[in-house]
């Protein structure tokens, strides 16, 4: 079982999940109840609070995480704000509905006997609205625990990270373990809130039996213990610690491995602590802003992406991005430093089964163009959409495939195995290339831009910890395309833990340097 | 007016928006009286009752309660000197019978101190025994609920007890029993009662004076019924 093999990793994710979802739940409960009370007592507030929380609820959650990045950045804060905004609707609604459903003759009786407004709220309205508030809390709890699964997209961690990691590395047991973890936590949390139904109202009304009181107090203590343990385990404020380096990665197996290599190298060779913000959804789009505002200290980027997406520069005619140029521009514009190149180029390429390559004696793109009428070509949707991909490729090499097939990026290899296509686009370091015995063809006219990998770090952090730069420079030119492809293969196909793969790589590197 | 007057209305009027409900109401109640307000539904008798404890704000005229102008009372303080009984008792469903009984006592400063003793003392008066004390209202019969409601209204020794159609939802037998019980309480405690009822037989049986209302005005006042 993957959970037991990687129990530390899952314990970390579980702790993060509990911290995020229950932290958000605590805030949602307090804010939601207060807003619900306000809505109940003030007809003016009803006109805008309810439409507002309704509106917030309708924004797709993934979009909400993204929308908040420019305001609060990535990570825990962003996740908690989004979850709180989402959870408000059931809490506000159930609180105000619960209060308005309290029988008017009962309220009149209390008022007529001399209870003050506060006493009426405390002794009558609140206990009688409690069942409705608790059912709202149950809905909110399940919703927030499930929604926390998406927090991994913005680097906040949680069990969702296992799901995304599994999806991005084609690791089904990982997806199952992450999903089951979320579901189990949601079910347990639902049961936990359920314990308070019928019992809490008795405790609040001071007429609970000893057993009822005990159950309520034990369950409250249980939550407190679990929450404190999760907090202690994750140490959410650790990233604010002065001696901490935050390493980020995009959501691909390659990036998980490279992120681990950087993290472990720092941990092994310095006394600095590392916080891993791996698998950030949206990749460069979200990591680059986080780098410029200091939420992330370093990550691995590719020259083509940095040149075109971040610097928004046009490609030179030979499609090769000059490293010294990109380094200079990053430093001047963003105060970020490219520390050098790792040694591999993860660019687009075309791949066909080795058997066909031998049959037709195909080595490069031009060879393939000559026999292209014998090939069925498959690629992901954006490959056909981007002007610098399929369209230009056909123009440059004159491909004339017998048919073309658009599909999800992760399904290309499956389609190849099933024989639906026999030529696909690929990334040069894809682990599946090794697994499926594919022939990677040479881009003999240099059509695709180069995507050479390199570590980018904040200059501020390099200055504060001068030991970092020489240390990380040790990785320069040490990861060849072949090495990277093999490491990807070990993670994607052999389902090894990226941490183990990274550890072995570093051990191997150390031996070489002796 | 005698020194014993504890409720005095002078030219009191009340309206809901444009709709006039009470016009030129003047009457007074002396300590120890049992007043029944009768009349058809919509005649304004319940509105009048709610003006006495300030649940509805006076619009015109003067109201004096316990020798103090209504405007000078802190309303919740005034209400704590009264008991209030509604249909079926309007018991708090989340509180036990005993907690319901103590509700008014607990609102009064120092009232909670001897509450157990006080409740035990009053239980025989409303014909209830201790076995129901821990029960919740939804497990009690209609008659039991109303007895708890009456005990709740008298436990703190109020100057005035207001009752709004307290027996209207009960069956004839229970109703009769409770009428006897309330009459008994009135005689024993010598508290002033003002009760709204649409049943003129009930009014005659219980009251020392009937104020009959019609279309927002006092139509007639009947005094001194021979006690049964």
pLDDT tens digits in sequence order for chain A, 514 residues long = 667 777 888 888 999 999 999 999 999 999 999 999 999 999 899 999 999 999 999 998 888 888 888 788 778 888 999 999 999 999 999 999 999 999 999 999 999 999 999 999 999 999 999 999 999 999 999 999 999 999 888 888 899 988 888 877 778 888 999 999 999 999 999 999 999 988 999 999 999 999 999 999 999 999 999 999 998 887 765 555 678 899 999 888 899 999 999 999 999 999 999 988 888 877 788 889 889 988 899 999 999 889 988 888 888 877 788 899 999 999 999 999 999 999 999 988 999 999 999 999 999 999 999 999 999 999 887 788 766 778 888 989 999 999 989 887 767 888 888 888 999 999 889 888 888 889 999 999 888 888 999 999 999 999 999 999 999 999 999 999 999 999 999 998 888 889 999 999 999 999 987 7
Find the residue in A nearest to B152 (Cα). A113
Q: Which two tokens stand for residue A168?
A: 């991005």
Q: Which residue has the tokens 């103590």?
A: B102
Spatial contact of B181 and B122, defined as CB atoms under 8 Å apart: no
In sequence order, which residues have a C-beta less than 8 Å from that of residue A471 and are 6 or more positions away?
A265, A266, A269, A270
According to the model, what pLDDT value does residue A380 have? Answer: 82
Nearest to B79 among A114, A128, A205 (CB): A114
Q: Is B71 on the interface with A (CB under 8 A)?
A: no
* Sheet of A273-277, strands arranged across: A273-277, A244-248, A298-302, A453-458, A336-338
Dihedrals φ, ψ of A453, to 5°?
-85, 140
Total count of residues recorded for chain A: 514
Please say whether the beta carbons of A205 and B97 come within 8 A: no
B110: left (phi over 0), alpha (psi -120 to 50) or beta: left
Please tell me which residue of chain A has the smallest CA distance to B50: A112
Phi, psi of A502 (to 5 degrees): -65, -40
The rounded radius of gyration (Å) of the Cα atoms in chain B is 17
What pLDDT is recorded for position B227? 46
CA dihedral A93, A98, A103, A109 (to 10 degrees): -110
Q: Say how far apart CA A245 and CA A227 lie, in whole Å.
A: 25
- To the question of pTM greater than 0.90 for the whole model, the response is no
First-to-final CA distance of chain A: 37
B57 touches chain A (CB under 8 A): no
């891993």: which residue's tokens? A276
SS3 A335: coil
pLDDT confidence of B225, banded at 50, 70, 90? low
CA A436 to each of CA A173, A277, A376, A408, A489: distance values in angstroms, whole numbers, following the listed order: 21, 31, 17, 18, 10
Q: Give the pLDDT of residue B59.
A: 75
Q: How many helices (H) and strands (E) does chain B have?
A: 7, 10
Beta pairing, strands A423-427 & A376-380: parallel
B18 contacts B7 by C-beta, under 8 angstroms:
no
Contact A291, A417 (CB under 8 A): no
Residue A217 falls in which region: left (phi positive, over 0), alpha (psi -120 to 50) or beta:
alpha
In a 10 Å sphere around its CB, with 0-12 CB exposed, 13-18 middle and 19+ buried, how is residue A195 labelled? middle
Q: List phi, psi (to 5°) of A351.
A: -135, 145
Closest chain B residue to A200, measured at CA: B94
3-state DSSP call for residue A279?
Answer: coil
Q: Which two tokens stand for residue A109?
A: 């009786």
Residue A334's nearest CA partner among A456, A246, A445, A199 is A456
Cα–Cα nearest to A349, from A248, A280, A448, A208: A448
Q: Do B99 and A205 touch (CB under 8 A)?
A: yes
The pLDDT value given to residue A156:
84
The Cα A160–Cα A278 span in angstroms is 12
Question: What pLDDT is attached to residue A242?
Answer: 74
CA distance A227 to A16: 10
Size of interface A-B (CB pairs under 8 A): 66
Task: Tell me if A215 sits within 8 A of A195, measured CB to CB.
Answer: yes
Write down the pLDDT at residue A478. Answer: 94
Angle of CA points A41, A44, A47, to nearest 5°: 110
Find residues 171-210 of chain B whose CB sits inside 8 Å of chain A: none
What whole-number distance in Å separates Cα of residue A152 and Cα of residue A97? 34
Q: Which residue has the tokens 């472990």?
A: A264
> Which tokens go with A471?
């240390």
Q: Which of B55, B91, B108 sits opposite A111 (nearest CB)?
A: B55
Give the pLDDT confidence score for residue A53 in this predicted structure.
93
Spell out which residues of chain A touch residue B82, defining contact as CB-CB under 8 Å.
Answer: 112-114
The CA distance from A141 to the nearest CA of chain B, in Å, is 25
**Distance between CA atoms of A157 and A149, rounded to whole angstroms?**
8
Half-sphere exposure of A253 (CA within 13 A, CB side): 30
At B117-155, the pLDDT tens digits run: 899 999 998 989 999 999 999 999 999 999 999 999 999
Cross-chain Cβ contact A112/B82 below 8 Å: yes
pLDDT at B160 over 70: yes
Record: contact A106-B93, CB cut-off 8 A: yes
SS3 content of chain B, % helix, strand, coil (to 5): 40, 30, 35
CA distance B103 to B107: 7
> Which pLDDT score, from 0 to 100, does residue A512 have?
85
pLDDT value, residue A314:
84
- Give the pLDDT of residue A117: 95
In the block, residue with structure tokens 């969702």:
A160
CB nearest A127 (choices: B81, B94, B103): B94
CB A116 within 8 A of CB A122: no
**Cβ–Cβ below 8 Å for A113 and B79:** yes
Q: Classify strands B34-38 and B60-65 as parallel, antiparallel or unpaired.
A: unpaired
Cα Rg for chain A, rounded, in angstroms? 28
Is residue A452 within 8 Å of residue A323, measured between CB atoms? yes
Residue A128 with chain B: CB contacts under 8 Å: 93-94
Partners of A124 on chain B (C-beta within 8 Å) are 92
Q: Cα–Cα distance between A54 and A51 in angstroms, integer?
A: 5
The reported pLDDT for the residue numbered A71 is: 83
Q: A119 contacts in B (CB within 8 Å)?
A: 107
The residues, any chain, with a CB within 8 Å of residue A437's CB and separated by 6 or more, are A353, A354
Rounded to an integer, what distance in angstroms lies between the CA atom of residue A50 and that of residue A47?
Answer: 7
Structure tokens at A114: 């001399």
Mutate to test the interface with A, among B90, B136, B150 (most CBs of A within 10 A): B90
d(CA A430, CA A450): 16
What is the per-residue DSSP string for B126-187? GT--GGGTT--GGGS-HHHHHHHHHHHHHTT--SEEEEESTTTTS-HHHHHHHHHHHHHHHH
Residues of B in contact with A127 (CB under 8 A): 94
* A299, A306 contact by CB (below 8 A): no
B169 and chain A: CB distance < 8 Å anywhere? no
Q: Which residues, other chains included, contact B29 with Cβ-Cβ below 8 Å and sequence gap of 6+? A: B5, B6, B7, B8, B35, B192, B194
A236 class by beta-carbon count within 10 Å (0-12 exposed, 13-18 middle, 19+ buried) = buried
Of A103, A109, A123, the CB nearest to B84: A109
- Interface residue of A112, A197, A204 to substitute, partner B, most B CBs within 10 Å: A112
What's the pLDDT at B228? 41
Give the angle A388-A392-A395 at the CA atoms, nearest 5°. 175
| Cβ-defined contact of A128 to B93 (cutoff 8 Å) | yes
Average pLDDT across chain B, whole number: 90
Per-residue pLDDT, B109: 79
Give the residue on A whose Cα is nearest the Cα of B80: A114
Q: Sign of dihedral through CA atoms A150, A151, A154, A159?
A: negative
Q: Which helix (H) or strand (E) holds A396?
A: helix A392-397
DSSP type of residue A139: H
Residues B76-92: tens digit of each pLDDT? 999 999 999 998 789 99
Dihedral of alpha carbons A205, A206, A209, A213, sign: positive
Q: How far is CA A198 from the centre of its chain?
A: 39
**CA–CA min distance A139, chain B (Å):** 24
ipTM of this model?
A: 0.93
**Hey, are the CB atoms on A109 and B95 less than 8 Å from each other?**
no
Residue A237 pLDDT: 59
Which residues in chain A have Cβ-Cβ distances shorter than 8 Å to B93? 106, 128
């Amino acid at each position: 079982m993957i959970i037991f093999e990687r129990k530390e990793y899952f314990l970390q994710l579980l702790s993060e999940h509990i911290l995020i979802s229950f932290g958000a739940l605590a805030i949602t409960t307090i804010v939601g109840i207060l807003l619900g009370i306000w809505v109940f007592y003030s007809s003016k507030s009803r006109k805008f609070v309810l439409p507002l929380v309704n509106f917030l609820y309708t924004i797709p959650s993934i979009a909400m995480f993204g929308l908040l990045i420019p305001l609060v950045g990535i990570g825990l804060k962003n996740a908690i704000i989004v979850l709180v905004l989402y959870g408000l609707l059931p809490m506000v609604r159930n609180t105000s509905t619960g209060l308005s459903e309290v029988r008017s003759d009962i309220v009149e009786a209390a008022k007529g006997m001399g209870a003050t407004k506060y006493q009426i709220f405390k002794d009558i309205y609140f206990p009688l609205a409690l069942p409705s508030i608790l059912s709202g809390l149950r809905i909110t709890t399940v919703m927030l625990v499930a929604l926390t699964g998406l927090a991994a997209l913005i680097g906040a961690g949680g069990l969702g990270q296992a799901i995304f990691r599994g999806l991005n590395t084609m690791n089904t047991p990982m997806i199952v373990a992450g999903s089951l973890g979320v579901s189990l936590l949601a079910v347990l949390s639902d049961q936990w809130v359920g314990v308070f139904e019928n019992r809490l109202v008795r405790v609040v009304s001071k007429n609970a039996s000893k057993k009822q009181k005990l159950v309520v107090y034990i369950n409250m203590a249980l939550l407190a213990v679990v929450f404190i343990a999760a907090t202690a385990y994750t140490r959410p404020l650790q990233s604010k610690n002065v001696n901490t380096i935050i390493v980020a990665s995009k959501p691909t197996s390659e990036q998980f491995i490279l992120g681990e290599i950087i993290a472990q190298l720092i941990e092994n060779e310095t006394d600095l602590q590392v916080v891993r913000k791996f698998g950030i959804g949206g990749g460069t789009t979200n990591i680059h802003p986080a780098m410029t505002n200091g939420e992330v200290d370093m990550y691995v980027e590719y020259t083509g992406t940095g040149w075109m997406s971040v610097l928004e520069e046009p490609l030179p005619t030979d499609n090769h991005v000059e490293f010294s140029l990109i380094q200079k521009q990053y430093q001047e514009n963003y105060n970020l430093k490219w520390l050098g190149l790792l040694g591999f180029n993860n660019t687009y390429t075309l791949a066909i089964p080795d058997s066909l390559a031998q049959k037709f004696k195909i080595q490069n793109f031009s060879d393939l163009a000559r026999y292209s009428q014998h090939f069925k070509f498959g690629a992901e949707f954006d490959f056909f959409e981007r002007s610098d991909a399929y369209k230009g490729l056909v123009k440059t090499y004159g491909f004339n495939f017998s048919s073309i097939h658009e599909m999800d990026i992760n399904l290309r290899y499956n389609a190849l195995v099933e024989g639906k296509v026999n030529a696909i686009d690929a990334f040069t370091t894809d682990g599946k290339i090794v697994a499926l015995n594919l022939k990677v063809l040479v881009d003999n006219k240099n059509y695709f831009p180069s995507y050479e990998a390199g570590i980018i770090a904040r200059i501020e952090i390099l200055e504060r910890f001068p030991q970092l730069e020489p240390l990380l420079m040790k990785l320069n030119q040490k990861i060849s395309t072949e090495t990277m492809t093999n490491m990807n293969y070990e993670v994607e196909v052999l389902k090894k833990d990226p941490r183990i793969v990274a550890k072995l790589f570093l051990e191997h590197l150390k031996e070489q340097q002796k | 007016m005698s020194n014993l007057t504890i409720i005095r209305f002078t030219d009191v009027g009340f309206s809901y928006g444009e709709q006039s409900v009470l016009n030129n109401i003047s009457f007074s109640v002396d300590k120890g009286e049992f007043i029944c307000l009768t009349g058809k539904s919509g005649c304004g008798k319940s509105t009048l009752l709610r003006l006495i404890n300030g649940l509805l704000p006076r619009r015109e005229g003067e109201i004096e309660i316990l020798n103090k102008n209504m405007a000078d009372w802190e309303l919740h303080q005034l209400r704590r000197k009264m008991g209030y009984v509604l249909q079926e008792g309007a018991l708090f469903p989340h509180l036990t019978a005993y907690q319901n009984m103590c509700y008014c006592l607990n609102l009064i400063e120092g009232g909670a101190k001897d509450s157990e003793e006080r409740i035990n003392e009053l239980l025989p008066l409303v014909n209830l025994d201790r076995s129901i004390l821990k029960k919740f209202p939804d497990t009690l019969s209609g008659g039991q609920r109303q007895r708890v409601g009456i005990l709740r209204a008298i436990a703190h020794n109020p100057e005035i007890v207001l009752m709004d159609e307290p027996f209207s939802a009960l069956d004839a037998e229970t109703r009769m029993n409770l009428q006897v019980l309330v009459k008994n309480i009135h005689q024993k405690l010598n508290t002033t009662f003002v009760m709204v009822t649409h049943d003129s037989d009930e009014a005659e049986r219980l009251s020392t004076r009937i104020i009959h209302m019609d279309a927002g005005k006092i139509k007639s006042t009947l005094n001194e019924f021979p006690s049964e």
